[in-house]
Structure 1
Amino acid sequence: MTRDDLAGMLGEQTTACGPAREALIAGGTFVVWDNPVPAAQLAGIYRARLRITQKRGQQTLALAAAVDILSQAAEEPVRVGRIDAADMSWTFMLFLNASATAVMACAGVARTAPSAEPGSDAK
């Protein structure tokens, strides 16, 4: 998958997709892993990560919405991807269909102090 392919797939699935696309276009690094995982399993993992980030006061973007989308997808196989902003201020997790031809959801987690913002967690 190319950078342009991935950028083209990042639409408005969640509010984190726009900032993730901007980070990718601005030179952020990205990876999409090969092995699909059941969506329900990912929902459980990212639900726990949501609780942890909330407890720490760490800024997130559309993490709750991504968990909801993964929960609804149940046992559907999902491929996971990641974009790291070039300045390392944000990491965006991508959830793609099994063939990696469409993004189902995207979530962002700030890697810096809570003042860094492309937005706030929203569905």
Structure 2
Amino acid sequence: MTRDDLIAMLRAQTPACGPARDTLIAGGDFVVWDGLVPANRHAGVFRGRMRSALRHGHTVDGLAESVDILKRAGEELLRTGSIDALDKSSVFTIFLNSTATVLVACFGGRRATTPLESAGAPE
């Protein structure tokens, strides 16, 4: 899969797809792993992470929509991957069909900063 292939696949599946696409266009790195996992297993894992994020007052763009999409996909085998901004300020998780020709779901956005990072670490 090429960068252009992935850019073309990132449409409006979730609210995170546009920013993920912009990150790739700006030169961000991406990887798609070879392993295949049933979509509903991903749904269970990320539903738990969504609940945890909400308890801590965090929101993740496209996560709720991705969990719903993954739940509906059932036993369909999916590949996972990630897209990282060059400056590491944003990260996205992507889910593709087994042949990596269709993007199924995407979530992510700006990485959370720790209090030390936002205050500026000493040099």
Q: TM-score range by the shorter chain?
A: 0.7 to 0.9
Largest Rg, 1 or 2: 2
TM-score under structure 2 length normalisation: 0.86
Q: How many residues align?
A: 114
In the alignment, structure 2 segments of 5+ residues that lack a partner are 115-123
Distance 1:110-1:50 versus aligned 2 partners, 3 A rule: farther
User: 2: CA distance between counterparts of 1:2 and 1:72?
Assistant: 28
Shift of residue 29, structure 1, vs aligned partner: 1.1
List per-residue Cα deviations over 1:79-111 (Å, max 9, x = no partner).
101001222222111111110001011111431
Q: Please state whether the residue corresponding to 2:12 is helix, strand or coil.
A: coil
Shift of residue 112, structure 1, vs aligned partner: 2.6
Aligned to 2:40: 40
Does 1:22 pair with 2:19? no
List per-residue Cα deviations over 1:11-53 (Å, max 9, x = no partner).
1111111100001111111100111100010001111111122
Q: Once the two structures are aligned, what percentage of the paired residues are identical?
A: 54
Q: CA RMSD in A?
A: 1.5
Aligned to 1:70: 70
- The answer on whether the counterparts of 2:16 and 2:109 sit within 8 Å (CA) in structure 1 is no
TM-score under structure 1 length normalisation: 0.86
Amino acid at match of 1:82: S
Shift of residue 58, structure 1, vs aligned partner: 2.6
User: 2: CA distance between counterparts of 1:55 and 1:30?
Assistant: 29
User: 2: CA distance between counterparts of 1:35 and 1:25?
Assistant: 26
- The answer on whether the counterparts of 2:23 and 2:83 sit within 8 Å (CA) in structure 1 is yes
In the alignment, structure 1 segments of 5+ residues that lack a partner are 115-123
Aligned to 1:90: 90
- The answer on whether the counterparts of 1:58 and 1:109 sit within 8 Å (CA) in structure 2 is no
